[in-house]
Amino acid sequence: MALVRDAHCHSCGAAFSDTSTYPRVCAQCKAQVWANPIPVSVVLVPVRHQGRVGLLVVRRSIEPKKGLLALVGGFLEEHETWQQGGAREVREETDVVIDHTSLVPFWFTSTEPRPNRVLLFSTATEMDASALPVFTATNETSERGLVFGPEGLEAVFAFPLHIEAVRRFFAARGITGAHEFITV
């Protein structure tokens, strides 16, 4: 049997007769079930390394897009602001501690073709590579590194909208050229 999301009412458990659309209204208790787009907080962390500024990235060790690079981010927990959730993801995935109050909104966009996620990109305060703590690989990220430019990201990055955010970041600083990934 195929698994159908929200096949039953969240309040009383009655089965929905029509599971093709949202919102669903329960025939028994009249409760509604919605499937709103989910926000994702993604943080661009500028890191100065040997006179240049790169962006902090991780190599994914989970699907989807296992083995490719991504900016750091994830879903928010119910008690978190987008700033707190973004800072937590940076800490969990890279061991880098950032002040969540220092995050500045950078760009937001809906996913394509299904607009079921809203990506909230923000920028952290620039730090120096010498200040990065030791990185310990997790079951989600196998490597921590930097990219230094916009070119060639399609070949190494997992998600097109992360590429777009990185391009916007470097374009705003007048930085061109190869991405030049390095491990940090």
Contact at 8 Å (CB) between 44 and 123?
yes
> Does 11 participate in binding Zn ion (rule CB under 5 A)?
yes
Beta strands 117-123 and 38-44: pairing type?
A: parallel
List 9, 71, 103, 161, residue binding Zn ion (CB under 5 A)? 9
Instruction: Give whichever of 14 and 97 is closer to Zn ion, judged by the CB atom.
Output: 14
In sequence order, what are the beta bridge partners of 157?
69
Least Cβ distance, residue 17 to Zn ion (angstroms): 12
Contacts of range 8-11, beta carbons closer than 8 Å, 24 or more positions apart = 9/33
Site for Zn ion in 109-128 (CB under 5 A): none
Least Cβ distance, residue 31 to Zn ion (angstroms): 5
Separation CA 39–CA 53 (nearest Å)? 28
Instruction: Give whichever of 11 and 176 is closer to Zn ion, judged by the CB atom.
Output: 11
37 token code pair: 């787009």
149 token code pair: 């430019």
List 4, 7, 12, 137, residue binding Zn ion (CB under 5 A)? 12
Least Cβ distance, residue 96 to Zn ion (angstroms): 45
Least Cβ distance, residue 4 to Zn ion (angstroms): 16
Question: Contact letters (x/-) for Zn ion, 22-41, by CB under 5 A?
Answer: ----x-xx-x----------
Beta strands 32-33 and 69-70: pairing type?
A: unpaired
Omega of the bond leading into 37 within 30 degrees of 0 (cis): no
Least Cβ distance, residue 45 to Zn ion (angstroms): 45
Q: What does the binding site for Zn ion look like in residue numbers (CB under 5 A)?
A: 9, 11-12, 14, 26, 28-29, 31
